[in-house]
Amino acid sequence: MVKANFKQMAKKILTCGSATALTLSLLAPAAPVAIAAEEAQSNTVTEKVKLDPSYQQAPFDGWGTALVWFANITGGWPDEVKNQLADALYGKDGLNFNIARYNIGGGDSPETTPYMRLGGAVPGYWNRPAEFGPPNGNTAGWTEPKNWWDPKNPDHWNWSADANQQWWLKAAKSRGADTFEAFSNSAPYFMTQSGYVSGNWDANKDNLKPDQYTNFASYLTGVVDHLQQETGIKFKTLSPVNEPNTNYWGAKGRQEGSHWAPASQAKMINEVKTQLTEKGLNTVVSAMDETNPSKFRSNWDAYNTETRNNIGQLNVHTYGTGERNGARDIAKGAGKKLWMSEVDLSVGGQNHEDIKPGIAISERIQADIQQLEPEAWVLWQAVEDEVNMRPEHENGNWGLIQVDFAAKDFSNFKIYKNKKYYAVGNYSKFIRPGDQFINTNNQNTLAAIDAKDDSVVVVYTNSTAEQKVVNLDLSGFETINGTASATPYVTSATDNLQKKEDIKVKDEKLAAVVPAQSITTFVVSGVSGVNKDAGFLNNHDKYKISNLNSGKVLDITQDGKIVQKSYDRDKASQQWSLQKVTNGYSSKELYKIVDTNSGKVIGVENGSAVEQTYQNTVSQKWMLSTSGNQQYTFINAANGQLLEVGGASTKEDAGVDVWSANAGKNQSWKIDKSGIVEIEPANVVVTKKKIAPELPQEITAIYGDGIKVQKAVQWEPIVPDQYDRETFFTVKGTVEGTNIPAVANVTVSKVESVEPIKVKTVPGKAPELPEFVPAKLKIGTEGNVRVNWETIDPSKYETLAKFTVKGSIPYSPVKLTANVQVTKPALQNIALNLPGSDQEFPKATASFTGQYDKAENVNDGEISSIRWTNWDPNSWRSEDWVAIDFGSEDTISTLDLHFYDDGGGTRPPASLQLEYWDGTEWKAIDGTQLDVNAKKDLTVNFAPVTTSKVRVVMKAMPNTCIAISEIEVFGKGDVTKAEPSIGDDATLESILIDGKPLKDFQPDQFTYDVKEKASNSPVVTAVTNDLFASYQVSEVEDAAVITVKSEDGLRTETYTVKFR
């Protein structure tokens, strides 16, 4: 028998803390398996998620889809087939959608040869009498009369048109749908300039004839009026324009569409509003269904007050995802409902079982609802043409269901539900109309409360390749019943909304392991109310308010102007209180921003933010918006404008004002608790009785932003009889600037033993040996004891080496050793230039930058939706580059790219090539020409290159723009800031048998025969070449097997010692 002692010659210093045991449930493809918390946490990434029900979005209208092409096709199919589809989308056992967007078709002329995709030619409701058509159908020399259509003439309407889409309207209503919107993609052909409903010959120009606004409004409102009377279906909204300010819509394209300049949009919105009122319809105008939030904002900014007032609901699409917060704040500032009214995405080639599209649509839902705060989330069209999605055609995963649009034989008809179908079900089946989304501190988590049912639904998306431990903190709820529990539903590569075993809530927390690449819905019962003291913001705390663009904080000048200044953690004028002046918990509550020093508040005068005595005026009240991460915008209640640093200035004392929402970082603020929020206790060990303890003159104070600062402390007097024996006692102290008491925990005890420690450094840098080390005390506990180290000869750490340093403990005979390893320095990210640093280099530049983005976003240290793109609204750019100029030469060998991918029009590049600057020209770096394959994160390693600049040259995927969130370039960097590298050595220095070195041992020899009987139980230990590598010894058939793992965990070596 071999005794496998796990014992290294040097052990790492560890800070010991308390461990809390949690019971975890594993959500696996099979039935859940309970696993120990300790095991899960040692092998699995843990994500802590806090729910905050004090920030509740408006009651949700629901989920749905546009009917449009698929309804135009399938509404005429056999009842059995189309009812299966309707059940899958609107049935309670299906996705339980409750919203349907009905497309009022324009319709090309009867003489137009069909050119659209299957289903794209949605019939119009006009009827052209024969007198206005070609005589006897002969178009030779014939021209259609102008302005023949008269909306007041019943013969000019065809109310039997579009029966297929109407079937879907009724099918949705019969299954419980309660919210209907009518929308238009194009006016009828005879109102257009090109004569086609697909757009103008110049896609950048309007297609509606200038004299047809009234007629087109009559057409749309007439259809809504008729359908409501004939079907009993009430349209809450009518959207007259769709993705208007784009160049998507050109004549003879494969679908209906029309460009509208902002002024044209406004004219159409006003005309439709007028006619809805004249017809006595309760339907309101929704607008403008723009393709992305940034274009939405551009359109809105061009509208005058009349047009804005005529819009009852704001609609936006998220085919581009930047500036969502701008659209959110426009809607909240204007007091209008906002819908995310259309989106879909296709990730990868057609594959109904691929989980990646499911993950992508889940991430889109989460981000849209967190950042937009929409009151509805609606798909483009839930059913797609399966044949058109095949590899030989579009090769995509559009839609939730795919069927053959050209099916003739329905006897063996196939309905394909892809993973997106089930992923959407993780939301739509459990978060229902009337529920309210709440705030969380996690971008992978979406949560909604059902106040009627005392429950919260939490959807967590794990896009990683590894399982995760998710700890949900429910302490934000006022009441958590003793029987509170969660039922999980999982969609993954192997599960489709699979129900798992219930999980109990314990100690206000829910802990579970979620599978890799999965969407998990937790339906948590038995929680209700709001714990006023557990939200992210409260009335009694003080806060610092930092501008996201400049990094500087709100401050006040002597004459009462609000400015930004560099942070001074102890400056009273930078400490603010957020006092809620309304009584609810909605995301539209109003606050006053109070200077805690003077008691005055921030108000607005002539567009500038100033300090005022509070008089309960509207301009002194602010609505807060957030999507988590402690980042907020402040919307002024008087004018709907946002608090910002004027001109996006980063300068000291730059003025703060209010401006229209523009989604700029200068309008976003990070809110952290200010002042000292915690004093860390001092733990002092006296190693000999009757020796007065040396209490520290400074103690660690923790500020609200997490920064730790050493502060002077005044301790209460200590009397000798407190330390005249081995014992424990505490001493209290005071710290200036806080009422939080300081505490010193004193232990009087001899030292029993101290383990050796190990320390790393780099050549030329003295090792930083600890002032205190953990020791086992004779009193029965452990504590940190002071150490006096011998002086180190600098020659010992000039080059790569290992050596020891001896140390002694005051008043103790116990000695200890520090094992020092001098290792090569780690590479540094030499591209990083943090916002507010005011340093010119490193500097990012690009061949082209989209109008809403910045090149400097790629090296700001933030991997997020804040990015660089090459988006050009006028044309597709096939190739661009982004460069990093270091300002001086360095040797580089690794570059990390973090792309942004919305699964739609903003994607990683198709391929890339790295190039370096040789002083006169750009040259390719060998081996770095790569296909990206839609990877969001990419590491490129290459032979070391010495250069002052590097750039990545990228080719775009077809019809997409390239987006980079962050570029990290790794080189030697500033040697004075060098840190030791993580070891990659997994070899041994020696093997010891019963404490004696193994004869003739060589690190690169892995098998040894030893003349020793295993029955004698020899003790086998080892010494690793790298002090920070680890090993374990196991017994295998009269042999000891030593498995060594490198510090970085990437390499292992196995040594075998056979006994005979």
Distance of CA 27 to the CA centre of its chain: 23
| Cα 443 from Cα 366, distance rounded (Å) | 8
293 class by beta-carbon count within 10 Å (0-12 exposed, 13-18 middle, 19+ buried):
buried
42 pLDDT above the threshold of 80: no
Is residue 776 within 8 A of residue 752, CB to CB? The reply is yes
**Token pair belonging to 900:** 């942004």
**Token pair belonging to 611:** 């300090």
Q: Is residue 14 part of a domain?
A: no
Is residue 222 within 8 A of residue 157, CB to CB? The reply is yes
% helix / strand / coil in the chain, to the nearest 5? 15, 40, 45
Mean per-residue pLDDT over the chain, rounded: 93
CATH number for the domain that contains residue 374: 3.20.20.80
| Cα 155 from Cα 541, distance rounded (Å) | 70
1019 pLDDT above the threshold of 90: yes
Query: What do you get for the CA distance between the two ends of the chain, in Å?
Result: 12
Q: How, if at all, do strands 23-26 and 509-514 pair?
A: parallel
Residues 691 and 662 in one domain: no
| Count of domains observed in the chain | 7
Q: Radius of gyration over alpha carbons of the chain, in Å?
A: 34
Residue 277 or 12, more confident: 277
Number of DSSP helices (H) and strands (E) in the chain, helices first? 11, 66
| Three-state DSSP class for residue 213 | helix
Residues 252 and 358 in one domain: yes
Q: What would the mean pLDDT of 356-376 be, rounded to a whole number?
A: 97
Residues 402 and 500 in one domain: no
Residue indicated by tokens 């199919």: 77
Q: What is the phi/psi pair of residue 542, to 5°?
A: -100, 145
Residues 688 and 785 in one domain: no
Residues 655 and 687 in one domain: no
CATH number for the domain that contains residue 444: 2.60.40.1180
Task: Note the pLDDT tens digit of each residue in 947-1002.
Answer: 999 999 999 998 899 999 999 999 988 878 889 999 999 999 999 999 999 999 99
Q: Is residue 17 part of a domain?
A: no
- pTM, two decimal places: 0.79
Is residue 825 within 8 A of residue 972, CB to CB? The reply is yes
CA angle 593/597/599 to nearest 5° reads 50
Domain boundary among 952, 977, 1002: 977
Residues 115 and 139 in one domain: yes
Query: Which pLDDT value is given to residue 1?
Result: 33
Residues 164 and 277 in one domain: yes
| Cα 735 from Cα 738, distance rounded (Å) | 6
Task: Note the pLDDT tens digit of each residue in 894-949.
Answer: 999 999 987 778 899 999 999 999 999 999 999 999 999 888 999 999 999 999 99
Over pLDDT 70: what percentage of the chain? 96
Q: Is residue 473 part of a domain?
A: yes
| Cα 550 from Cα 527, distance rounded (Å) | 40
Query: Which pLDDT value is given to residue 43?
Result: 54
Residues 959 and 1039 in one domain: no
Task: Note the pLDDT tens digit of each residue in 749-772.
Answer: 999 999 999 999 999 999 999 999
Query: Which pLDDT value is given to residue 818?
Result: 97
Residues 93 and 50 in one domain: no
Q: Is residue 682 part of a domain?
A: yes
DSSP for 98-158 reads -EEEEEEB----TTSPP-SPTTT-PPBSB---GGGS-GGG--TT--PPTT---TT-GGGB-
CATH number for the domain that contains residue 1000: 2.60.40
Task: Note the pLDDT tens digit of each residue in 507-522.
Answer: 999 999 999 999 999 9
Residues 159 and 265 in one domain: yes
25 pLDDT above the threshold of 80: no
Cα torsion through 659, 662, 666, 668, rounded to 10: 100
Task: Note the pLDDT tens digit of each residue in 653-707.
Answer: 999 999 999 999 999 999 999 989 999 999 999 999 999 999 999 999 999 888 8
Range of the domain at 626: 543-673
Contacts of 224 (CB under 8 A, 6+ apart): 104, 182, 235, 238, 276, 281, 283
Residues 442 and 421 in one domain: no
Task: Note the pLDDT tens digit of each residue in 50-76.
Answer: 999 999 999 999 999 999 999 999 999
CATH number for the domain that contains residue 604: 2.80.10.50
Task: Note the pLDDT tens digit of each residue in 530-578.
Answer: 999 898 999 889 999 999 999 999 999 999 999 999 999 889 999 999 9
Task: Note the pLDDT tens digit of each residue in 774-824.
Answer: 999 999 999 999 999 999 999 999 999 999 999 999 999 999 999 999 999
| Cα 439 from Cα 610, distance rounded (Å) | 30
Q: How, if at all, do strands 45-56 and 436-440 pair?
A: antiparallel
4 pLDDT above the threshold of 60: no
Domain boundary among 777, 797, 822: 822
> Please, which residues bridge with residue 774 across strands?
784
Over pLDDT 90: what percentage of the chain? 89
Give me the count of residues in the chain.
Answer: 1060
CA angle 819/822/828 to nearest 5° reads 130
Q: What would the mean pLDDT of 731-744 be, rounded to a whole number?
A: 95
> Please, which residues bridge with residue 286 across strands?
313
What number of CA atoms fall less than 13 Å from residue 380's CA on the CB side?
Answer: 20
Q: What is the DSSP letter of 61?
A: -
| Three-state DSSP class for residue 437 | strand
Task: Note the pLDDT tens digit of each residue in 438-447.
Answer: 999 999 999 9
| Three-state DSSP class for residue 53 | strand
DSSP for 997-1047 reads EPTT--TT--EEEESS-GGG--EEEEEESSTT-EEEEEE-SSEEEEEEE-T
Confidence tier at 24 by pLDDT (50, 70, 90): very low
Residues 77 and 29 in one domain: no
Q: Is residue 12 part of a domain?
A: no
Domain boundary among 748, 766, 782: 748
Task: Note the pLDDT tens digit of each residue in 71-113.
Answer: 999 999 999 999 999 999 999 999 999 999 999 999 999 999 9
CATH number for the domain that contains residue 939: 2.60.120.260
Q: What would the mean pLDDT of 278-290 be, rounded to a whole number?
A: 98
Please state the three-class secondary structure of 316-339 as a single string. EECCCCCCHHHHHHHHHHHCCEEE
| Cα 503 from Cα 484, distance rounded (Å) | 9
